[in-house]
Structure 1
Amino acid sequence: MSGAREEILRRIERITPTRPAAEVAADYAGIDRSYLRRHHDEGVLDLLAERVADYRATVRKVAPAELPGAVAEALSARPGTHAVPDGLPAGWTAGIDPARLARDPAVADLDGLAGAVTGCAVAIAETGTIVLDHGPGQGPRALSLVPDYHLIVVEAGQVAADVPEALERLDPLRPLTFVSGPSATSDIELSRVEGVHGPRTLEVLLVG
């Protein structure tokens, strides 16, 4: 770190000092939550699939026993090596040649990979958003941003009906990545371009 950068960070710290984690957690717990927390009581898996597909992602619903075969089928359509983060259940990739998997790769190696397979922390049916907190089975944030293809496995128990319910399941002190479809942006003429800031292709396996 350069001396100039250190000085800038010191000045920022003096203006807005870092608060103790316990204080931040207490403030978070004190938020008034008397608002409506759920807009849907039934059909949340179907709603999630519909909303995720609206973002131009591919969604497939599978039974738990079908998951290894579905993962293998998805990756077989994409030649190359795919990243597998530490903590991903081994059974999910049981149908794939181990030579095609890069387990817990270094960030510097991600650009040369065909894609990545991860789990998630929670999914929000109302918005079609999948949230990674980069715990076991999810890898570092770069894993969900650098490879051109991202396959996310969402288990039925991870699906929350709406945003408030989802936030209650998340730790605000963890790094959170909110995924709403493949990476996309638009220029001043509203021409959509995908893959600029993250994966060009997002595929979701909804297990339930």
Structure 2
Amino acid sequence: MTAAAREEILRRIRAAAVPPAPPVPRHYLRHAPGVPDQDRPAVLALFAERLTEYGAEVLRADRPGPAVARLLAGHGARSLVVPDGLPAEWTADWDGEVRTDRPPLGKAALDATDAVLTGCAAAVADSGTLVLDGGPAQGRRAATLLPDLHVCVVRAEQVRSALPGALARLDPARPLTFVSGPSATADIEMIRVKGVHGPRRLAVVLLG
């Protein structure tokens, strides 16, 4: 290839090159449409609505103990695994077997337990999402995946209208797990199957 031919090829490539992409806009909506974070009743109502749409059960309560006991009894749970740091009052009204995940329970023991009870690090109203980071009252990821029922206690102040607000509450260095409804997939022949990657049932106690 001659130098002239090479230069002609490069000239044509430069002439056909796609112009640089415009800068990414950063003025995106930081809350659910029409639901600013300051409107707390609307944020909590949207959160409960989204969870229900996903097939989760939501129970509004002022105290966690009676609500947790009611949900566990309603689902027929007789054994419960709890992570380290879970407040004792959350299980004070329940008369079933409580298994503390310390030292860590084996996979068989977790799978044989009816339910797991946790808190969360943050929650997103717009998508009905719980975020766990392995902190106190949240525990290991395995403990939240193997029992068939996951009961999560969420405080009203933990719920943000949309994801940007929730991210501000999270530490990106921690192991974050985003949970939007009970585990389900429709990958095979478009048939919805629950419990493939985690609990088939999700129940949320929303405090406040």
Corresponding position of 1:24: none
Corresponding position of 1:164? 164
Structure 1 length as normaliser, TM-score? 0.79
SS in 1 for 2:52: helix
Tell me how far 1:104 sits from its aligned partner.
Answer: 1.8
Alignment of 1:57-206 (within 5 A): 57-64=56-63, 67-77=64-74, 78-97=76-95, 100-105=97-102, 106-108=104-106, 109-206=109-206
Q: Distance in 2 between matches of 1:206 and 1:148?
A: 20
8 Å contact kept, 1:84–1:101: yes
Shift of 1:56: 0.5
Q: CA–CA distance in 2 between the matches of 1:188 and 1:151?
A: 28
Q: Point out 4+ residue stretches in structure 1 off by more than 4 angstroms.
A: none
Name the structure 2 match of 1:35: 28
Residue range with higher mean Cα deviation, 182-191 or 72-81: 72-81
Q: Conserved in 2, the CA contact under 8 Å of 1:107 and 1:142? A: no
Letter in 2 for 1:58: E
- Match of 1:157, SS state, is helix
Structure 1: unaligned runs, 5 residues or longer: 1-31
Q: What's 2:53 paired with?
A: 54
Partners in 1 of 2:31 and 2:125 — Cα distance? 10
**Partner amino acid for 1:62?**
A
The amino acid of 2:60's aligned partner reads K
Q: What's the CA shift for 1:137? A: 0.2
CA RMSD of aligned residues (A): 1.7
**Equivalent residue of 1:102, what SS?**
strand
* Partner AA of 2:82 in structure 1: V
Taking only the aligned residue pairs, the percentage that are identical comes to 52
Q: Which has more radius of gyration?
A: 2
The SS at the match of 1:45 is: helix
Count of aligned residue pairs for this structure pair: 175
| TM-score normalised by structure 2 residue count | 0.79
Question: In the aligned structure 2, how far is the partner of 1:36 from the partner of 1:57?
Answer: 27
Deviation at 1:131, TM superposition (A): 0.5
